[in-house]
Chains A and B, each alone.
Chain A
């Protein structure tokens, strides 16, 4: 299915948000997930299913002042 991840159009297998992170080879403990502008807490990642056209933001901490 086609979704937008971090502003980029991506074609993914889909499933739950946890499965999307696995597909992207991202450690769920190391990222914070926003799904259609709503933060999804870690325990709920396996409960939210991604749909075509969804916007997903995956963020983490980088160097900053």
Chain B
């Protein structure tokens, strides 16, 4: 179904990160899909331009089938390599350097995980890694928690974007702390992209309504009953949330106020 993008229908600026400009504010991952065909169609339905990938060892027996690049066209999409699975700054730096050597761009979605159960970020390790990678010319998009001070420090370290979580990776719990995410957006100058935790379209919409610059998701699409249909829903929700933010919502009030005239009632 053809749909106009937010940029076409409302007054909005494209999203610029690290000198690159994108029309879509929805970014998607490539993990956990039931099969590659579904993944390709879901990415297409999402309208995403930025697509994340992970760095892993080549399977020495079946290398040709296992690389995600056999199914994605790097000319059409922007590959954003992550450092998922890294638990130390040193590991994340190593993975980032390997990813850049693949030769597509110098962007990295920096993850340094601090806890196995929650996959919450190790913010000290994150800052340490960012401070090494930024001077090396990396455009660092830092996956962090929704803590303002950490976000400020990451910005000071030269990160190209800060990516606070909505809720833990793969949890589908939605935006748990809208206040903190809004505060981060208000205080930072670099783009704020909410990464991880959305479960369904309303979560994406509410997240975008906070005024953040974009949203990144993987499991919410890949683990849906119909990933392609959910990708489509996420596209709409991201646009809707952005449009609502730009429109400016009405004031909340604790008491009702009639929409219909109180005058002109019959005796």
Answer whether A and B are interacting partners. yes
Contacts of B39 in A (CB 8 A): 63
Mark the stretch among B60-68, B146-154, B233-241 that contacts chain A: B60-68
A59 at the interface (CB under 8 A from B): yes
The answer to whether B30 and A63 have CB atoms under 8 Å apart is yes
User: Which DSSP category, helix, strand, loop or mixed, fits chain B's interface?
Assistant: mixed
With beta carbons under 8 angstroms apart, the residue of A31, A41, A64 that contacts B58 is A31
Q: How far is the CA of A26 from the CA of B63 in the complex (A)?
A: 7
B residues less than 8 Å from A58 (CB atoms)? 57-58, 60
Given A64-B30, A64-B52, A30-B69 contact (CB < 8 Å): yes
A32 at interface by CB-CB < 8 Å:
yes
Q: B101 on the interface (CB 8 Å rule)?
A: yes
Verify B58–A60 contact, CB threshold 8 A: yes
Q: Is B194 an interface position by the 8 A CB rule?
A: no
Any chain A CB within 8 A of the CB of B172?
Answer: no
Q: Does A5 contact B (CB under 8 A)?
A: yes
Bound-state Cα–Cα, A39 to B103, Å: 13
Q: Which residue of A lies closest to B53 (CB)?
A: A61
**In the complex, how many angstroms separate the beta carbon of A2 from the nearest chain B beta carbon?**
15
Interface residue B145 (Cβ < 8 Å from any Cβ of A): no
In chain A, residues 21-65, which have Cβ atoms closer than 8 Å to a Cβ of chain B?
A: 24-27, 30-32, 34, 39, 41-42, 57-65
Pairs of residues from A and B, 7 with the lowest C-beta to C-beta distance, nearest first? A64-B54, A65-B218, A65-B29, A63-B30, A61-B53, A6-B57, A63-B31
Which A residues contact B (CB, under 8 angstroms)?
Answer: 5-8, 24-27, 30-32, 34, 39, 41-42, 57-65
